Amino acid sequence: MLRALLLLIMLIGAGFASADEASVKKLVVAKFPQAKVEGVVKTVYGGLYEVFMDGRIHYTDEKMTFFIIGELIDAKTSINVTEQRFRKLTALNVKDMPPQDMAIKRVKGDGHRRLIVFSDPMCPYCRRIEQEFTKLNNVTIYLFPYPIEKRFPGSTELSKAIWCSPDRAKAWDEWMLKGTRPTAKGTCVTPIDDLDKIGNKLGIGVTPTVIFSDGAPMNGMISAAEMDRLMNQTPAP
């Protein structure tokens, strides 16, 4: 009887919380009718509500008397709550990633950490991030050639030539780090077209896109130090 009563109290409490979140969401939608409000969740911090809107996290109160644009840091633990929540909210399903045999695999050190990278060989930032990869250790990098032909004409042909090279990893590094074009012809069977379909399904429209083992993506240029920090905060796959 007592257990049933406690369960009822918990359910009622959950119902009130949902009702509060729903009412706050209505206020946000009314204030920003053109925005895409993806979710509103009550936090454990001073009555703040987390608002996930237009791909960013904001904070407000139950009456929306203010709107905070910025990061929430837990003072006791120094954890960046906003960053952790954003990673969780934007995480891709790791099960939807391309199979490993479509990747150019590179193992550095003991390889116990993991990065998935979608990269275009003609993209300037993709070439810059390769310099950052050389500074990493104890990581396995699964590099998926992902040419965005409309943005970088010729990248599809180059990707296929790299894939058809006797040593794909070497050919990729030679081009990305030294500018040495592969001599192989891209006439072998490649996964490039399939990777394009998978990437589109995942919503990947920017290169480079770095995906951590929990599925959290980072778009664009990112330093080796930042990748190290995020990998160390990410649970092992």
Give the residue with greater pLDDT, 235 vs 4: 235
Q: Which residues contact 202 (CB under 8 A, 6 or more apart)?
A: 92, 96, 97
The values of phi and psi at residue 40, to 5°, are -130, 125
Give the residue with greater pLDDT, 113 vs 10: 113
> So what's the pLDDT on residue 19?
56
Task: Tell me which residue of 170, 168, 166, 116 sits closest to 141, measured CA to CA.
Answer: 116
- State yes or no: pLDDT of 185 exceeds 50: yes
Confidence of residue 38 (pLDDT cuts 50, 70, 90): very high
> Integer distance in angstroms from the first to the last C-alpha of the chain?
42
pLDDT digits (tens, 9 = 90+) for 121-152: 999 999 999 999 999 999 999 999 999 999 99
pLDDT digits (tens, 9 = 90+) for 47-61: 999 999 999 999 999
Instruction: Write down the pTM of the prediction.
Output: 0.83
- State yes or no: pLDDT of 160 exceeds 90: yes
Write down the mean pLDDT value for the chain.
Answer: 90
Q: Which residues contact 59 (CB under 8 A, 6 or more apart)?
A: 43, 48, 49, 50, 51, 67, 68, 70, 72
